[in-house]
Amino acid sequence: MVELRKPILVNEALERIMQVVELLGTETVSLEEAYGRILAEPIIAKHDVPPFDRSAYDGFAVRAVDTIGASSENPIHFHVIGEIGAGHVANQPIGEFQAYRIMTGAILPAEADAVIMLEQTVETAKGFTISESVQPGAHLSFQGEDAQKEKHLWKQEQKSIQGQLLY
């Protein structure tokens, strides 16, 4: 004999399900073990990423205002006053027509607001020349550009997917 089923409303069905569902416990696992799991709490950025304004390319940190008017007929010369590698900081701010040789990821020195890519320069005895101006912010990664402090990176109950990274 076939039992006749009586349809019920969706809300009632959900209520019945929720009465018998048991919440799973939580556990802490390594990142390698997290694939396919559900987050028990949101992932929130503890700090800005990057934590400072930095160079997006190898090149020279400059003041963009000093590049105004640069052209092939009017190349502008810059004097290099030092070098900044990733993890290092400048020992002085830059002045007019001064530059630091800067590596990708290095902290932008005080007073600099742009980076001229190495490929866009012509080396000279004490520096380089450029034949094209740059805008403020050129070739930079700004503080908090990838993730801002307190921003929710992953939501609670979001399933982890292969290829996603935590900050």
Say yes or no to pLDDT of 142 above 80: yes
Surface-to-core class of residue 163, CB atoms within 10 Å of its CB (0-12 exposed, 13-18 middle, 19+ buried): exposed
- Please tell me the predicted confidence (pLDDT) of residue 163: 53
Top pLDDT among 112 and 3 is at 112
- The predicted model scores a pTM of 0.71
Top pLDDT among 38 and 75 is at 75
Q: What is the dihedral of CA 144, 113, 64, 123, to 10 degrees?
A: -110
Q: What is the mean pLDDT of residues 135-149?
A: 94
Domains, in order of start, for the chain: 1-48+153-167 (no CATH), 54-141 (2.170.190.11)
Structure tokens at 160: 């982890």
- Residue among 78, 76, 83 nearest 95 (CA): 78
Please, are residues 52 and 143 in contact by the beta-carbon 8 Å criterion?
A: yes
Top pLDDT among 161 and 128 is at 128
pLDDT digits (tens, 9 = 90+) for 13-22: 999 998 998 8
**Tokens 């069905």, residue?**
13
pLDDT digits (tens, 9 = 90+) for 121-138: 999 998 999 999 999 999
pLDDT digits (tens, 9 = 90+) for 83-95: 999 889 999 999 9
